Amino acid sequence: MDVKLPDRLEGKDAVLLDCVTIMVTNLMFEKKMDWDNVTPDEINEIEGFIGLEIENLISVIRNEKVPFVIVTNEVGMGVVPEYPSGRAFRDIAGRVNQKLAMEADEVYLCVSGIPVKIK
């Protein structure tokens, strides 16, 4: 039985979604493919699929009267991943984070356990 997110929110005072990057990983690997030889077109297709899921999430957040706190990871501040799947993940997660940050009322970056408000 596939229970939709709005159905799960009934009676809730708030929602904590932890963690967007795990969600992105799960969505990426839902699609069976040869990640060592993935093409740019395949990556674009996967990113489109993930983008639709994020748009659906944003739609639910906009329509519900429940406060949402969303946790994610900053994955673009380190070294360039060696493998195609790692590079695709870094790029897709970065764009997902940008989209969510644009839609958010507030955005914090935690550095050494210290929250720094960036929006």
Place of tokens 């093409």: 39
Place of tokens 């939709």: 4
pLDDT tens for 84-114 read 999 999 999 999 999 999 999 999 999 999 9
3-state SS record for 77-113: CCCCCCCHHHHHHHHHHHHHHHHHHHHCCCCEEEECC
**How many angstroms separate the first and last alpha carbons of the chain?**
38
Query: How many Å separate Cα 51 from the centre of its chain?
Result: 9
- Indicate the pLDDT class of residue 4, thresholds 50, 70 and 90: low
11: phi > 0 → left, psi -120 to 50 → alpha, else beta; which? Answer: left
pTM for this predicted structure: 0.88
Domains and CATH numbers, the chain: 13-117 (3.40.50.300)
Place of tokens 């360039």: 80
- Indicate the pLDDT class of residue 39, thresholds 50, 70 and 90: very high
Amino acid at 34: D
